[in-house]
Amino acid sequence: QKEVEQNSGPLSVPEGAIASLNCTYSDRGSQSFFWYRQYSGKSPELIMFIYSNGDKEDGRFTAQLNKASQYVSLLIRDSQPSDSATYLCAVIAAGNKLTFGGGTRVLVKP
């Protein structure tokens, strides 16, 4: 079982719609959760971090964390073609090591 799992996609979303990305993790002691966006050939760019159960909103992005169910999700509202990228879920668990999921590729179609 992978430590951090994501659906590889591609997740195809019409422009203006909501993109919903999910991530599950195996270490129940995980404390910190991150979403990074990575354009093809570029480095990961931090979008959001979340530490507590519930929702955290930043502009068009909302991160949701449910520690009991061991999942974290990212919602992208009003999706734009510029949101087309791979989204990496990352978790800091035991040993303070940042572990990445395999990423979900998102395609926003005009």
- What residues make contact with another protein under the rule CB under 8 A? 31-32, 34, 36, 41-46, 49, 88, 92, 95-98, 100-103
| In the complex, minimum distance from the CB of residue 49 to another protein, in angstroms, rounded to a whole number | 6
Q: Are 90 and 49 in contact, with CB atoms under 8 Å apart?
A: no
Contacts of 102-105 with CB under 8 Å at 24 or more apart are: 102/2, 102/5, 102/6, 102/8, 103/6, 103/8, 103/38, 104/6, 104/7, 104/8, 104/9, 104/11, 104/21, 105/8, 105/9, 105/10, 105/11
Least Å from the CB of residue 14 to another protein = 25
- Which CB, 10 or 14, lies closer to another protein? 10
In the bound complex, what is the minimum distance in angstroms from residue 56's beta carbon to another protein?
13
Q: Which is nearer to another protein, 95 or 110 (CB)?
A: 95
State the DSSP code for 94: G
Nearer to another protein, 18 or 42 (CB): 42
Nearer to another protein, 17 or 92 (CB): 92
